[in-house]
Amino acid sequence: MRRVALVGGAPIVPLGYDAPVSFNPDIVIMYSVDQALSLLLDSATPLSPLDADTEAVALNHAHHRVLAHDITAPLDVPGFDNSAMDGYALHIPDFAAPPATYAIVQRIAAGETGAELAAGHAARIFTGAPIPMGANAVVMQEDCSVSGDTLRVNFQVKPQQHIRPRGDDVRAGSVVLRAGTRLRAQELGLLASLGIASITVMRPLRVALMCTGNELVEPGQALGAGQIYNSNRYLLNALLTSQGYQVSDFGIVRDDAVTTRDTLLKAAAEHDIVMTTGGVSVGDEDHVKAAVEAHGALDLWRMAIKPGKPFAQGHIRRADGSHASFIGLPGNPVSGFVTFLVLVKPFLAKRQGALADTTEIQRFPAGFSRGAQTRREYLRANLIDGRAVPVANQGSGVLTSAVISSGLLVVPENVAVQEGDLLQWLPYASQL
């Protein structure tokens, strides 16, 4: 007979407890977040950059995509010594003490090339223009005076000042980006600076998203008694597309066993990942878990996290014997938001073939005190005067808590917090 762990009476897995790796359907264990995360990551097989899981895309379509191969610079950037300032390129013979005068003999704008500059001569030059042969420094126009064709410099000029040397940014032949890099704006700019017009990236993971619940109504439609709008669909679609995944939106799935099963199987046949919201707790109308167990397996269910305790993960078998990954997010929108950021995001990133996130852990002093809790809690909080202060209403259905906060403050399980204790801080800005 199944023993269902109840809130409060659950066999909470203490920190450091070495839980069995396989899910035993007769015993419902509460995994710690760390255990759950390592189970998830261990089970996340990356798409292979060697097979059909790659595609060539133009740079403008590569935002958020993951590089399939290392990128080696085909050229130096900049490709020539150039001026960092609007001013004058000088051929200074001896860098003697000021003042000094130079004959202005040429003018070089960006995109042009100049002639060799003789000793004691100056070239009018503009930012980005090539430094002419012979020039060994640039002075800013506001630092010197011009009279006719003569330039007067009243200060000590340093050799090579304001000259951006060839290869200063990137040297030809160096590896500039590693396979598995997720392309942000700055990586796209760098690739363009190398003249690269299209790149090979991993095909995006195909994610089927469905929201279960008879109470759900799409925005734009009238609400009946007891109904609510489907917020998870929009929240999760945005989270998934912000990471570059290809989302198939299955909309609302009604709470009945057959519809749930049929939709899950159809989604599994055509997608890498099947993601559901709702229906993973212990209620009679929670059909998702049962369908996954019947047509695959749950590898993970319930963990000591707040919000997000009923989080489920597993796989669904396809007709050909392969399987799709299953992610069952709790129905409460903030629980889905938090478990997506903490667990699903790194899982999907690894499945996609992205390099692991190596962002350094940030910590901030707690702006509050409170007793120990058995679940690790991710409080929606703000940084105020250098302290992390949770927003007032932390309900797992209270989406405004995620809107008015700037990140998640992590309160470890079984630890009492004293004001000033350093707690891990996960800013949304680095998450989304």
Ligand X SMILES: Nc1nc2c(c(=O)[nH]1)N[C@H]1C(S)=C(S)[C@@H](COP(=O)(O)OP(=O)(O)OC[C@H]3O[C@@H](n4cnc5c(N)ncnc54)[C@H](O)[C@@H]3O)O[C@H]1N2
**What is the contact surface with ligand X in residues (CB under 6 A)?**
7, 211, 213, 215-216, 228, 230-233, 277-283, 286, 307, 309-310, 330-333, 335, 396-397
Tell me the residue nearest to ligand X as measured from the CB: 331
Q: Which residues lie closer than 8 Å to 316 by C-beta, 6 or more apart?
A: 264, 265, 267, 268, 274, 292, 295, 296, 323, 324, 326
Q: Cα-flanking dihedrals φ and ψ of residue 108, to 5°?
A: -130, 115
421 binds, among ligand MOO, ligand X, none (CB under 5 to 8 A by kind): none
Cα maximum dimension of the chain: 99
Contact 278, 213 (CB under 8 A): yes
DSSP assignment of 368-427 equals: S-B---SSEEEEEEEEETTEEEE-S---TT-THHHHS-SEEEEE-TT--B-TT-EEEEEE
In the shown chain, the binding pattern of residues 370 to 409 toward ligand MOO, with x for contact by CB under 6 A and - for none, equals --------------------------x-------------
Helices within 116-242 (DSSP H only): 185-193, 232-242
Min. distance of Cβ 397 from ligand MOO in angstroms? Answer: 7
Min. distance of Cβ 339 from ligand MOO in angstroms? Answer: 8
Min. distance of Cβ 332 from ligand MOO in angstroms? Answer: 5
Q: Which residue is listed with tokens 């003042």?
A: 99
336 binds, among ligand X, ligand MOO, none (CB under 5 to 8 A by kind): none
Min. distance of Cβ 372 from ligand MOO in angstroms? Answer: 17
- In one-letter notation, the amino acid at residue 203 is R
Min. distance of Cβ 416 from ligand MOO in angstroms? Answer: 20
Task: Indicate whether 308 belongs to the interface with ligand MOO (CB under 6 A).
Answer: yes
Which range in 91-99, 262-270, 301-309, 317-325 contacts ligand MOO by CB under 6 A?
301-309
C-alpha–C-alpha distance, residues 421 and 369, integer Å: 9
In the shown chain, the binding pattern of residues 319 to 358 toward ligand MOO, with x for contact by CB under 6 A and - for none, equals -----------x-x--x-----------------------
- How many Cβ atoms sit within 10 Å of the Cβ of residue 166? 18
231 binds, among ligand MOO, ligand X, none (CB under 5 to 8 A by kind): ligand X
Min. distance of Cβ 213 from ligand X in angstroms? Answer: 4
- Pairing mode, if any, of strands 206-212 and 246-253? parallel
DSSP-derived secondary structure letter, 194: T
* Interaction site with ligand MOO (CB under 6 A): 306-309, 330, 332, 335, 396
